[in-house]
Amino acid sequence: YKWETIKEFEDIRFEYCEGVGKITINRPRYRNAFTPQTVQEMIEAMDHCRYDENIGVVILTGEGDKAFCSGGDQNVKGVGGYVGKDGVPRLNVLDLQKKIRSLPKPVVAMVNGFAIGGGHVLHVVCDLSIASENAIFGQTGPKVGSFDGGFGSSYLARHVGQKKAREIWFLCKQYSAQEACEMGMVNKVVPFEELENETMEWCKIMLERSPLALRMVKAGLNAELDGQAGIQELAGNATLLYYFTEEAQEGKKAFLEKRKPDFSKYPKFP
């Protein structure tokens, strides 16, 4: 594939090819661990994907054949969070998780190696996960003084069930790609050399599907789990569709023309 750079960043690569935006964590020296800056760059790239009409699907991956992402960079973990260049401790990866979840386009985790700790949570929040045979999955929080009791726990449990989710978090074991697939948190496992081709094949199929339908299904699947925030997004999409109707236009027109709206001609569906 001929990937074109969308924007240059320090810690990530952000590229485009055939309707797909690809975000690659580019810190292989640290098994693609993220710092606040890495996360901020990913947030910026995700925002770009949201507004770029040429992008229909997003791939999240890591550089090299060792790691997808090994979570927060322990070298910059200070008191109160991960410390950025500004000296402020923060946990901005939670903002990134929310961006992935509410992006109205599919996000595919292309898991090319270790998906560990906060890196494991990133693949969990993606809509689909395609893994190479060498990929290894696991949480480490209770071993290294951390935990993610949000999407990293509750959404994980929706994939693998409560017992398995507790096992993953309480024991901090590592699982093979095949085991992750059997547990239901990975969609497909392929040899490393085929990972990008397979992922792009899935992306191309989704690009042939109706973008509005994908958007609505993603919002619907999220809404069941996300409480009022999920309903807000699903309802926002319903409003978007309503604005396309003549009925909604009549309300606005009547206001601007300073007359009573006439909704009588619009159908009251059974």
> Binding residues for ligand 2NE, per CB under 6 A?
30-31, 33, 66-67, 70-75, 91, 93, 114, 116-118, 140-141, 144, 146-148
Closer Cβ to ligand 2NE, 3 or 147, answer by number: 147
Residues 6+ apart with CB under 8 A from 251: 261, 263
The answer to whether the annotation marks 176 as part of a ligand binding site is no
Closest residue to ligand 2NE: CB criterion: 71
Buried b (16+ CB within 10 A) or exposed e, 157-172: bbebeeebbeebbeeb
Least distance CB 172 / ligand 2NE (angstroms): 9
Least distance CB 84 / ligand 2NE (angstroms): 14
The answer to whether the annotation marks 259 as part of a ligand binding site is no
Closer Cβ to ligand 2NE, 106 or 152, answer by number: 152
Report the C-alpha gap between 222 and 216 in whole angstroms.
10
Residue bearing tokens 């095949």: 178
- The region that residue 23 occupies, defined by phi over 0 for left and psi between -120 and 50 for alpha, beta otherwise, is beta
Closer Cβ to ligand 2NE, 93 or 111, answer by number: 93
- Output the six-digit token pair for 228: 């009022």
The answer to whether the annotation marks 72 as part of a ligand binding site is yes
Report the C-alpha gap between 47 and 45 in whole angstroms.
5
The answer to whether the annotation marks 243 as part of a ligand binding site is yes
Least distance CB 145 / ligand 2NE (angstroms): 8
Least distance CB 249 / ligand 2NE (angstroms): 46
Least distance CB 188 / ligand 2NE (angstroms): 22
Angle at 262 between CA 257 and CA 267, to 5 degrees: 140
Closer Cβ to ligand 2NE, 34 or 202, answer by number: 34
Closer Cβ to ligand 2NE, 21 or 72, answer by number: 72
Closer Cβ to ligand 2NE, 84 or 117, answer by number: 117
The answer to whether the annotation marks 146 as part of a ligand binding site is yes
| Single-letter amino acid code for the residue at 142 | P
Least distance CB 31 / ligand 2NE (angstroms): 4
Is residue 38 a contact partner of residue 12, using CB atoms and an 8 Å limit? Answer: yes
Report the C-alpha gap between 194 and 138 in whole angstroms.
23
Binding annotation for hydrogencarbonate: 139-141
